[in-house]
Amino acid sequence: MTFAGGMVPRAFLWDACQPKMWGPDGNVLLLKSALPGALENTQRCEEAIQQLLKARAIHASSTNSQELFSVDPVFVSHVMKIEPSGSKERTQALMAMFYAFPKDSHLDPAFFTSKGLLMIPVLRFLLPSLWLEFPPPARPILELAFETFLSASYFADYSWKREAARIAEQLAHLLRSPVHLARANFRKASLSRLYDYAGLQLRSLMTPTGIDARTNAWLGQLTLSAAQALIDKSAYTRDVAATLRDFCPLEPSRPSHQEGLILLDGEFLVTKSLRFEGRFEEAEESFKQVLARANELGSRISWKVSSHFGEVQSERGFCEKAIGMLEDDIAELEKYQPLEHGSGNRLRLALANCYLMNLLWTWKQECRPLATESIRLALEHFQLLDHAYLSGKPASFMAKHNQFVARSGLAMVHHIGNNFQEALAAWEEAEQVARTLCEEPGYAAMITLYSRSQIAYHLGVEEAEELNRRARELWELIGRR
């Protein structure tokens, strides 16, 4: 612990004793730790932890349902006198990190995010030892190192994500594996699409002969990305489904766990496409089935499915049901990870959208002024999200997209509540975000222009006609693209 930065989560120690990754058969493989001393197994690890706590050499705290251990400064001073360089110890700590770091969200669905967030600082601290002090390792360790850095590229800021993906690429070269190299290159391309808005270039990879179920599932991830790229371009659902048929388990009647998760992700993408096509009834029924299957497999995709499922329910008028489901899901997710990351923000955005849809349905059906409390609740949810999305620098494409949705939601709630000045200001802020989403004005810009024109008419502002004209011109240019 002293040579790993002085503060580590329990998961760093505990999971190093019981590492797991995907096995060649596409199912979870529990590895035997090759680490010395207290990290040989969980029993010895726990005994060592308790002895150190009793001696007050380390102190315990907790955050996000994860226990942290910090080394006492007096103990650090004592250790540094014995091992002033600590090169061997840092190398051992890095080895422990390769065993401990969560390799895939499906391998640790509940705690993947919280463990990763807490281990990233330790991994970054140990990073200099990778090339300077770490000898050329055996292939099993190289594979663990590759999976560690590829997984680590999903955490922290953009600069770290790029660095982690670059290191994974270097390790793939050492492995001399075209599949590992393709995975690393694809991750780098995905990051470029998300942050630099570059088009996703899927490099062709000839499927190796005699592949196992694990490799087949890895290649299946490329098929999922190709399908998502079609959805991003508003392709028809039939085209999305046709692309997904390119993936097939090695044994279709008995897919491995990992291959089954790829199939599940594909079903989710098809269902999401149905929703975006406006086929809400079909999408709602399909989301229900996908969610049941996700819960059966213990897949983290259930959080993504819940977000869309709740939104499509509210779009069909079942707002209170959707709000109740999403509030339960958010409370459950908060037990395992901070809501400010990943699925937490997406679930909160879905909840805010459901509150907005509830206002719209009530407004439409009852044709009367809405309750002040209902408007206040909806505003609070969108304001919370707008602040959360502002805090990420630089923001990914999806973060900016969601920030646009949050600011648009704010504007619509203010408009419904007849707060026209506030609505106009919120639409102007939404338009600023829309400009960062694409170089050429698109659908987002058209929405903001049209909405601003409507409010300008209410306020008697002279630019109302001009705003409406620009919105119509954009509509004729792009349609509902």
Residues 6+ apart with CB under 8 A from 323: 310, 314, 351, 354, 355, 358
Q: Are residues 388 and 293 located together in one domain of the fold? A: no
pLDDT at 400: 84
pLDDT at 451: 92
Q: Are residues 4 and 122 located together in one domain of the fold? A: yes
pLDDT at 481: 44
Bridge partner list, 322: none
Tell me phi and psi for residue 66, to 5 degrees. Answer: -120, 135
Instruction: Give the count of domains, the chain.
Output: 5
Residue type at 427?
Answer: W
Q: What is the CATH number of the domain that holds 390?
A: 1.25.40
In a domain, 441, yes or no: yes
Residues 6+ apart with CB under 8 A from 346: 303, 304, 307, 402
In a domain, 170, yes or no: yes
* Residue 117 to residue 104: CA distance in whole angstroms: 14
Residue with tokens 């594979």: 143
* Residue 288 to residue 294: CA distance in whole angstroms: 10
In a domain, 324, yes or no: yes
Out of 357, 382, 406, a domain closes at 357
Distance of CA 321 to the CA centre of its chain: 25
Q: Are residues 287 and 309 located together in one domain of the fold? A: no
Print the domain residue range for 156: 136-206
In a domain, 28, yes or no: yes
Both tokens of residue 44? Answer: 């010895």
Q: Are residues 427 and 452 located together in one domain of the fold? A: yes
Both tokens of residue 240? Answer: 């999305």
* Angle 93-97-98 from CA coordinates, rounded to 5°: 120
Both tokens of residue 354? Answer: 């459901």
Q: Are residues 43 and 94 located together in one domain of the fold? A: yes
Peptide bond into 441 cis (omega under 30): no
In a domain, 320, yes or no: yes
In a domain, 363, yes or no: no
Q: Are residues 14 and 115 located together in one domain of the fold? A: yes
In a domain, 214, yes or no: no
Nearest to 378 by CA among 353, 344, 400: 353
pLDDT tens digit sequence for 163-206: 999 999 999 999 999 999 999 998 998 888 787 755 555 555 55
In a domain, 362, yes or no: no
* Residue 309 to residue 62: CA distance in whole angstroms: 33
Q: Are residues 332 and 376 located together in one domain of the fold? A: no
Tell me phi and psi for residue 105, to 5 degrees. Answer: -60, -25
Q: CA-CA-CA-CA torsion for 385, 199, 156, 435, nearest 10 degrees?
A: -40
Residues of the chain with pLDDT under 50: 480-481
- By DSSP bridging, strand 58-63 and strand 66-71 are antiparallel
Rg (Cα) of the chain, in Å, rounded? 25
Out of 80, 108, 129, a domain closes at 129
Cα–Cα distances in angstroms (integers) from residue 224 to residues 71, 79, 361, 453, in the given order: 44, 50, 35, 40
Out of 129, 161, 181, a domain closes at 129
Q: Are residues 325 and 433 located together in one domain of the fold? A: no
pLDDT at 474: 85
Q: Are residues 375 and 351 located together in one domain of the fold? A: no
Q: Are residues 277 and 327 located together in one domain of the fold? A: no
Q: Are residues 308 and 334 located together in one domain of the fold? A: yes
Q: Are residues 229 and 198 located together in one domain of the fold? A: no
Number of residues that this document lists for the chain: 481
- Residue pair 138/329 in contact (Cβ under 8 Å)? The answer is no
pLDDT tens digit sequence for 365-407: 877 667 788 889 999 999 888 776 665 555 677 888 888 999 9
The phi-psi region of residue 37 (left if phi > 0; otherwise alpha if psi is between -120 and 50; otherwise beta) is left
